[in-house]
Amino acid sequence: SGKHFPDFVVLEKHRIVFIESKDARELRDSNSEAYRIGQEAIEQCQLASQASKTRWEYWAIPHDQVERCATFQDVAGQRFRFV
């Protein structure tokens, strides 16, 4: 597929987190493009983690859970869990 750029990238000492806000309905629909992109991003992060000493993660945040000025910990608690 083509190039894809996440909304946010968080760099920590031993972890890189790619964060995107996605439509909540699309995240719940395993046939949607948003769900497919999320699954592919998770697979790519797993491969990158295996090839490096850094853990790579992809987080999709349902759009209706996004709040202004949320902390990183707040965002972590709102991420969608892909099955």
Token pair belonging to 51: 């090839």
Looking at residue 69, its amino acid is: C
Q: What is the predicted pLDDT for the residue at 51?
A: 96
Q: What is the largest CA-CA distance in the chain?
A: 35
Contact 24, 64 (CB under 8 A): yes
Q: How confident is the model at residue 1 (pLDDT cuts 50, 70, 90)?
A: low
Full-model pTM = 0.84
In the numeric block, the tokens 């597929």 are attached to 1
Mean pLDDT for 45-54 is 95
Nearest to 22 by CA among 70, 58, 69: 58
pLDDT digits 0-9 by tens, 10-35: 999 999 999 999 999 999 999 999 99
The CA distances from residue 80 to 3, 43, 70, in Å, are: 22, 15, 16
